[in-house]
Amino acid sequence: MKKNKASIGKPPKEAANNSATYARGMIWPHLETPAKFAVARIKGGPIAPQINGYVYFWDVPGGVQVWTAISGLPPYQPGLNNQSPIGPHGFHLHQFGDCSIGDPLEPFQAAGGHWNPDNQPHGNHAGDFPVLFSNNGRAEMSFLTNRFQVADIIGKSVVIHENPDDYRSQPAGNAGKRLACGIINLYDGI
Ligand SMILES: [Cu+2]
């Protein structure tokens, strides 16, 4: 059981050296051509060190399919006394592939602001993603975006925030502190 828990979101070993075969044959049967495929390994920072997981990206007709599996999210807390609730968690692409922790009270500032290549307001940034809902600490989600291709996001980062994204406050949806970060790399069978 311990082994399973640690490997949430990770492909089985026998598939690790052939991501295209894995993608076609197992959980993504709609994928018909060898795709550009990327992954961000997500790790929690000092505010939520238990966060752990993966975000996968692969090119599909019409855009990119994103699939994520995250564990170790903090429990939901309602927003009392004008404080933001903890969860569901803002989830975005950020500009820079630098997940240095920096200030432990405001971690992951080196990842920069939201990746926004076409200069849109927040809520319509290319890297604005749906929020992550914690299910006893675990979130899994898959969605389609037509805002980029895998090749456009290599070397950017994925950030998970403490608070929900309101999709309209500028510049970042009032999503609060940065709990976890991962750099997007071309998939090579991690
Ligand atoms: Cu963000």
Concatenate the DSSP letters of all residues of 56-95 into one string: EEEEETTEEEEEEEEE-PPPPB---TTPPPB-SBPEEEES
pLDDT at 171: 86
pLDDT at 4: 46
Contact indicator for 176, 164 with CB cutoff of 8 Å: no
Q: What is the pLDDT of residues 168-188, one digit of tens each?
A: 888 888 899 999 999 999 986
| Start-to-end Cα distance in the chain | 21
Residue 22, phi then psi, degrees to nearest 5:
-60, -45
What distance in angstroms lies between residue 59's CA and the mean position of ligand 1's atoms? Answer: 22
What distance in angstroms lies between residue 114's CA and the mean position of ligand 1's atoms? Answer: 6
A 10 A CB-CB count for 70 gives 27
Q: Which residues surround ligand 1, an ion (CB under 5 A)?
A: 92, 159
What distance in angstroms lies between residue 82's CA and the mean position of ligand 1's atoms? Answer: 21
Contact indicator for 180, 111 with CB cutoff of 8 Å: no
pTM of the entire predicted model: 0.81
What distance in angstroms lies between residue 94's CA and the mean position of ligand 1's atoms? Answer: 6
Q: Enter the tokens of residue 161.
A: 């925030």
